[in-house]
A and B are shown apart, each in its own frame.
Chain A
Amino acid sequence: MSPIRIVVKRREKLPRRLKILYTIIAILVSFLIAAPIVAALGIDPILFYKYLIVGSFAPYSFPLTIMNLIPVSLCCISAIISFRAGLWNIGQDGQYIIGAIFLLWIASIIPNVPPPLSYLLVIILGGLAGGAWCLICGVLRAYTEANEAVTTLMMLYVASSILNYLCYGPWRSSVGFPETFPLPQNYQLPNIGPVTSALIALAVLTFLAWLMIERTRLGLEMSILAEGTRVIDYVGLRYRRLICIVMFLSGFYAGIAGALYLSYAAKFLEPGFIAYYGFSGIIAAWLCELRVEYSILSSLLLAALYSSSYTMQATLNIPSYMTDALEGLLLICILLVHFFTRYRIEIRLINARSKGDRK
């Protein structure tokens, strides 16, 4: 036996102030770890940090951050809804694509809907399509117990194949590039000053999600669902139906993300439409500890990473994949915080006297 024993013990609940402090430290640590990686690419880390901030919060780049904020934030809420219920929808990107495709399809059939109604249609069509796409996995989970983390991930690739098929096949409208026809003018959300009006939709949708999770019976049922089937049976809930509802709502938000992004930013579909906002949303969801009220803050950080990656690619020639590495590091650091807020590590010296503890 080694004389030192490392014991992991569960902690009492930490005060919220300490948790926030730890989270900030985790963010800083992940950025610090990035320094040697950037240096290995032959780029001055100081410049990297400079562009990290300038590329996302300077007056010229802030609208870009806001543009990225909306899909990241909606995907974050989508992740929160499913994770809160103990379900693992990690295919937000697939639902995002399907939401956009469905919107473009319906809008091309009825292009002349007058504006206020058409904006509402953007949200409803995107949401319904994304929700339905995710509901497939929800039904499979509820009635056959197929692992929803795996099926949602697979559905992401199915969705991206459909996107490629449409862009290279029937919907292609440009000879040079695999691009589809644009979304009809009536469906394109206008800008208010430098930022898009989709921000209003984001605020309303975030409030509705908060209301649903924190203030309704459904929100309560979701947290019971997370406790496992035994508790559900005891309480007498119809858990299959509940799984389907939660998965539909989770997909609903991710679908809206795609439809909105198509409507205010992309305007048409191309294979590069999939920007992996979903994975950033999942990281944002863990960053805000699955609380909707903080989701915009944590999403803002990830959206900032997105927009600074454009700037860094243009100025420092850092590949945009560096952002993924940074996001991965960030998530690992957040997970470490998650561990240290729940457990503490004790290092004990074992000697003859303390042998009694080893029961």
Chain B
Amino acid sequence: MRLLIIINGILERATVYLLATEGSLIVQRAGLLNLGIEGFFAIAALVAYAVAVYTGNLVLAFIAAAASALAFNMIFTVLTVHLRLNHIVSGLAVSMLGLGLSYTFGVSLVGIPLPQNISMPMINVFGLELDPVIILSIVIAVGLWYLLYRTKLGYQIRIVGENPHVADRLGVPIDKVRYIATAIEGALVGLGAAYYSLVVIPEWSTGVTLGKGWLAIALAMFSLWHPIYAIGGSYLIACSDSLARVLPLLGVPVSPYLLYALPYVLTIVALSVVSYVEVKKKRLGIPTALAKVYSREERARKYT
């Protein structure tokens, strides 16, 4: 019984990571390094929780979360795509604004529980009671793989991230492609954030989402920017996450506080290895133009 609870915990957390990672992955494939994810993750988590508390409708909460994250992400898109501003600083600005707004307005929801009558409808798959969102996240991962590698839009996203100058010559509408990518990112991250605040930790407290958004960026890199590998990456990190909770309960003398650092250390190691192999001219799918501002008239300049 206890094992089932642990497995369920891993599945739930992995779903949050997977949805957010898929979002970050697609936008990185389009050449944007969106550090603002931390901000709209917090916004969407709050919106989902507030909608669920006030309307009692779970589906509405998920939709509202996705829509709000998508809308909020547009700030980043305008700053980097149209105004050609630095991705890292723009992302930090969006993050701070999002975190600030979310936790400022979230104060009134601290301690208010979700209505009793809402709970996830379960789907029975091979005798296992599964959450539909867990299945949806896997379906989305496969769908994104299809989108990236089997459709024209996916090809355009990849070439924009690889070399926007060439993409421009080929007539790919760069701005439009990047808008679509960030819209998909916003919606997916919003869904993940809603699942996080409604199912994984069904309560609201200040600072609950801290670090989750940025972890998704790292996970996308860890998964070599590949939607299918991202499933493995998310489940691996969810396992290490639950290890931090379970080991102390089993009496293993490891500090949970140090185990919390594990996903970040793993990511740094993986990112270094991936980048090193990439430098040695073995293609692994790292988007070459990641975090580089594209402007048709000029070459890459200082501070851009």
Q: Is the CB of B273 within 8 A of A144?
A: yes
Q: Is the CB of A319 within 8 A of B92?
A: no
Does A322 make an interface contact (CB < 8 A)?
yes
Interface residues of A in 135-175 (CB under 8 A from B): 140, 143-147, 149-151, 153-155, 157-158, 161-162, 164-165, 168-169
> What is the chain A residue whose CB lies nearest that of B38?
A153
Interface CB pairs A-B, < 8 A, 27: A40-B105, A88-B88, A90-B92, A143-B276, A144-B279, A145-B275, A149-B88, A150-B218, A150-B221, A153-B35, A154-B265, A155-B264, A157-B214, A158-B261, A158-B268, A164-B260, A165-B258, A169-B255, A319-B104, A321-B100, A323-B100, A325-B97, A332-B79, A332-B93, A335-B79, A335-B86, A339-B83
Question: Contacts A157-B261, A165-B258, A169-B255; is A147 near B271 (CB within 8 Å)?
Answer: yes
Which single member of B95, B217, B302 contacts A328 (CB below 8 Å)? B95
Q: Is the CB of B303 within 8 A of A228?
A: no
Residues in chain A near residue B83, CB distance under 8 A: 335-336, 339
Q: Is the CB of B79 within 8 A of A282?
A: no
Q: Is the CB of B85 within 8 A of A155?
A: no
Q: Is the CB of A147 within 8 A of B290?
A: yes
> What is the chain A residue whose CB lies nearest that of B97?
A328
Which single member of B92, B105, B260, B275 contacts A279 (CB below 8 Å)? B92
Q: Is the CB of B258 within 8 A of A140?
A: no
Which single member of B260, B273, B274, B297 contacts A161 (CB below 8 Å)? B260
CA distance A223 to B93 in the complex (A): 25
Does A41 make an interface contact (CB < 8 A)?
yes
A90 to chain B, nearest CB (A): 6
Does A329 make an interface contact (CB < 8 A)?
yes
Known contacts A37-B101, A157-B260, A226-B302, then 16 further A-B pairs from the complex at CB < 8 Å, ordered by chain A residue: A41-B104, A83-B303, A145-B279, A147-B271, A149-B33, A149-B35, A150-B271, A151-B268, A154-B268, A228-B300, A319-B107, A322-B100, A328-B93, A332-B90, A335-B86, A335-B89
Residues in chain B near residue A158, CB distance under 8 A: 261, 264-265, 268
CA distance A324 to B211 in the complex (A): 15
Chain A CB within 10 A, most for which of B82, B90, B92: B92
> What is the chain A residue whose CB lies nearest that of B270?
A146
Question: Contacts A321-B104, A331-B96, A335-B79; is A226 near B260 (CB within 8 Å)?
Answer: no
Which single member of B75, B267, B275 contacts A332 (CB below 8 Å)? B75
> What is the chain A residue whose CB lies nearest that of B90?
A335
Residues in chain B near residue A157, CB distance under 8 A: 211, 214, 260-261, 264
Q: Is the CB of A328 within 8 A of B258?
A: no
Residues in chain B near residue A282, CB distance under 8 A: 89, 92
Does A326 make an interface contact (CB < 8 A)?
yes
Chain B CB within 10 A, most for which of A150, A151, A168, A326: A150
Residues in chain A near residue B84, CB distance under 8 A: 8, 339, 343
Interface residues of B in 193-233 (CB under 8 A from A): 206, 211, 214, 217-218, 221
Interface residues of B in 225-279 (CB under 8 A from A): 255, 257-258, 260-261, 264-265, 267-268, 271-276, 278-279
Does A318 make an interface contact (CB < 8 A)?
yes
Q: Is the CB of B79 within 8 A of A279?
A: no
> Residues on A close to B: CB < 8 A?
8, 10, 37, 40-41, 83, 86, 88, 90, 140, 143-147, 149-151, 153-155, 157-158, 161-162, 164-165, 168-169, 223, 226-228, 279, 282-283, 286, 318-319, 321-329, 331-332, 335-336, 338-339, 343
B178 to chain A, nearest CB (A): 16
Does B50 make an interface contact (CB < 8 A)?
no
Closest 3 CB pairs of A and B: A325-B100, A328-B97, A324-B100
Q: Is the CB of A10 within 8 A of B275?
A: no
B179 to chain A, nearest CB (A): 16
Does B98 make an interface contact (CB < 8 A)?
yes
Does B39 make an interface contact (CB < 8 A)?
yes
Q: Is the CB of A327 within 8 A of B276?
A: no
Question: Contacts A165-B258, A319-B206, A332-B97; is A154 near B264 (CB within 8 Å)?
Answer: yes
Residues in chain B near residue A40, CB distance under 8 A: 105
Question: Contacts A10-B298, A145-B275, A335-B79; is A321 near B267 (CB within 8 Å)?
Answer: no
CA distance A328 to B273 in the complex (A): 33
Q: Is the CB of A338 within 8 A of B85?
A: yes
Does B172 make an interface contact (CB < 8 A)?
no
Residues in chain B near residue A322, CB distance under 8 A: 100, 104
Q: Is the CB of B275 within 8 A of A41?
A: no
B256 to chain A, nearest CB (A): 9
Chain A CB within 10 A, most for which of B99, B101, B105, B268: B268
> What is the chain B residue whose CB lies nearest that of A338?
B85
> What is the chain A residue whose CB lies nearest that of B36?
A328
Residues in chain B near residue A327, CB distance under 8 A: 96, 100
> What is the chain A residue whose CB lies nearest that of B211?
A157
Q: Is the CB of A140 within 8 A of B268?
A: yes
Q: Is the CB of B89 within 8 A of A155?
A: no
Does B103 make an interface contact (CB < 8 A)?
yes
Q: Is the CB of B94 within 8 A of A149?
A: no
CA distance A149 to B88 in the complex (A): 8
Does B291 make an interface contact (CB < 8 A)?
yes
Which single member of B89, B99, B217, B279 contacts A286 (CB below 8 Å)? B89
Residues in chain B near residue A140, CB distance under 8 A: 268, 271-272
Q: Is the CB of B100 within 8 A of A147?
A: no
Q: Is the CB of A10 within 8 A of B218?
A: no
